[in-house]
């Protein structure tokens, strides 16, 4: 057997996060992008090893002059177990390949810093202990279920914000950790907290890109009273949308 040494440059590393806990996922996630190649490393990161226009750049550790022209790629992440909803996201290349001075933090676009991509739960997901469970049916002005809607729940004090996506049937699950539990030493302390609602939707091919949708949130007039460990089910109407 002949051992052959191969040297190549990683273009980026993608780290998928759980929307409820914000912890990295250990489950295998499928990621795809036109013309891109990936390899999953021992840390569970999806490393981009090649992309259109970057083959020569990836093949050498020497930085070319000039660098390849900047390009944005649309990727799609999906969960084979269907516990997380499929989503799209944008990856911009090239990332900064220069090492910072000793003791200095990595720049946000460093190739040595993983690109964090949050995945949102499907209705199949089981919550963590004490997380509130908010199940929403998202409909348009004519009560037609809306797939691919992004919904935000926000509380001012304590500051909590959580997002959720609606699936192909218009059902969204938002798991909300961090709500204060009952304080038996202070009977006046609140148990339920009032969350504001906002939503966004766009008539784009599925799966949606939550990061892009979040730039166009519409505040809703309704609110939700939620307590730690409690399950709430309701319908919200996006009356500015008509399918």
Tens digits of residue pLDDT in 187-198 = 777 889 999 999
At 181 the pLDDT is 86
211 and 170 share a domain? yes
23 and 82 share a domain? yes
Q: Which domain holds residue 34?
A: 12-119
pLDDT at 82 over 90: yes
At 6 the pLDDT is 45
Half-sphere exposure of 49 (CA within 13 A, CB side): 10
In this structure, is residue 22 part of a structural domain? yes
145 and 100 share a domain? no
> Which residues are registered as beta bridge partners of 135?
173, 233
Tens digits of residue pLDDT in 89-107 = 999 999 998 888 888 898 9
Count of the separate structural domains present in the chain:
2
In this structure, is residue 2 part of a structural domain? no
Kindly report the CATH number assigned to the domain that includes residue 90: 2.60.40
Kindly report the CATH number assigned to the domain that includes residue 217: 2.60.40.1120
Spatial distance between the Cα atoms of 119 and 202, rounded to a whole number of angstroms: 19
Confidence band of 184 (pLDDT split at 50, 70, 90): low
At 2 the pLDDT is 46
111 and 146 share a domain? no
């Amino acid at each position: 057997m002949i051992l052959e040494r191969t040297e190549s440059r990683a273009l980026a590393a993608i780290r998928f996060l759980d929307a409820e806990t914000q912890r990295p996922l250990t489950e295998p996630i499928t990621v795809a992008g036109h013309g891109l190649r990936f390899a999953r490393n021992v840390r569970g990161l999806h490393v981009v090893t090649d992309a259109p226009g970057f083959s020569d750049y990836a093949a050498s550790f020497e930085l070319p002059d000039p660098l390849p022209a900047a390009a944005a790629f649309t990727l799609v992440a999906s969960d084979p177990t269907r516990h997380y909803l499929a989503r799209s996201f944008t990856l911009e290349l090239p990332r900064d390949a220069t090492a910072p001075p000793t003791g200095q933090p990595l720049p946000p676009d460093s190739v040595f810093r993983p690109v964090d991509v949050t995945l949102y739960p499907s209705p199949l997901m089981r919550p963590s202990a004490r997380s509130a469970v908010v199940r929403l049916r998202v409909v348009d002005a004519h009560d037609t279920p809306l797939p691919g809607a992004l919904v935000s729940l926000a509380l001012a004090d304590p500051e909590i914000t959580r997002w959720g996506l609606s699936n192909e049937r218009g059902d969204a699950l938002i798991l909300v950790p961090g709500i204060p539990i009952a304080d038996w030493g202070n009977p006046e302390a609140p148990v339920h907290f009032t969350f504001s609602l906002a939503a966004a939707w766009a008539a784009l091919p599925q799966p949606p890109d939550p990061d892009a949708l979040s730039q166009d949130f519409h505040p809703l007039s309704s609110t939700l009273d939620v307590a730690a460990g409690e399950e709430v089910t309701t319908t919200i109407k996006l009356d500015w949308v008509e399918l």
